[in-house]
Amino acid sequence: MEVRWLKRNQAAEAIVIFGGWAVGPGVFDHLAGAQDLVFVSDYRSLDVDLPDLSGYDHVTLLAWSFGVAAYAHWQEGRADPFDRKVAVNGTLTPVDETRGIPPAVMAKTAEGLSEQSFAQFLRRTFNTPQPPHAVDIDARRAELHAVAARGTASVVAFDQVWIAGRDRIFPPENQHRAWADATIRELPAAAHAPFDHFDSWQALIS
């Protein structure tokens, strides 16, 4: 697990982003806000601690895609530093026929991973072709295997769940089943990476 600061200006509030698989923090660059930002990625292992966040007045979790289950697994046995938790297009059952990504799809993605298939994955993530993106095939395949092996995470109460209607990675109907008891907000026209539908962090986390 990799943890890094994206912005650290001694703000009153901080947001910790548990990101998605193989998609860096650039998808968030356009979001305005004064909050300090921590970005978490690479879920091959979950044995890294977050920085000390006790000095902030308010700390929010934004978990996207595989970051939802990764956060929940990471949280087990640790103190909860968050005042608010928001999930985006992910579930606590990341590899599941009815509440996550179907196992056959996950296995095919991992075993067939190549530069070409990764480009297809990015196209499906954004629902539009993306510029060429360097990828460490072996590392990202190992990450997929780790996510699948880790399996279902313990239940974590999220304050809000965003579900995109045009998500081609986590089927929207599976997300709805997974979050049947949660507070859901829908983005009918959005892709798996829905962040172009927001212009500020506040709009995303409030």
The per-residue pLDDT for range 62-119, each reduced to its tens digit, is 999 999 999 999 999 999 999 999 999 999 999 999 999 999 999 999 999 999 999 9
Are 30 and 54 a contacting pair, CB within 8 Å?
no
Cβ burial of 111 (10 Å; 0-12, 13-18, 19+) is exposed
CATH 3.40.50.720 matches 2-205: no
- Model confidence at 157, pLDDT cuts 50, 70, 90, reads very high
Which distant-in-sequence residues (6+ apart) come within 8 Å of 177 by Cβ? Answer: 98, 99
- CA dist 58 and 11 (Å) reads 10
The whole-chain average pLDDT of the chain stands at 98
DSSP code, position 175:
H
Are 28 and 20 a contacting pair, CB within 8 Å?
no
Strand partners, 85: 61
Nearest-5° angle of CA 65, CA 70, CA 72? 110
Strand partners, 161: 87, 184
- Please state the pTM of the whole predicted model: 0.97
The per-residue pLDDT for 196 is 98
* Edge-to-edge strand ranges of the sheet holding 36-41: 2-7, 36-41, 13-18, 58-64, 84-88, 160-164, 184-187
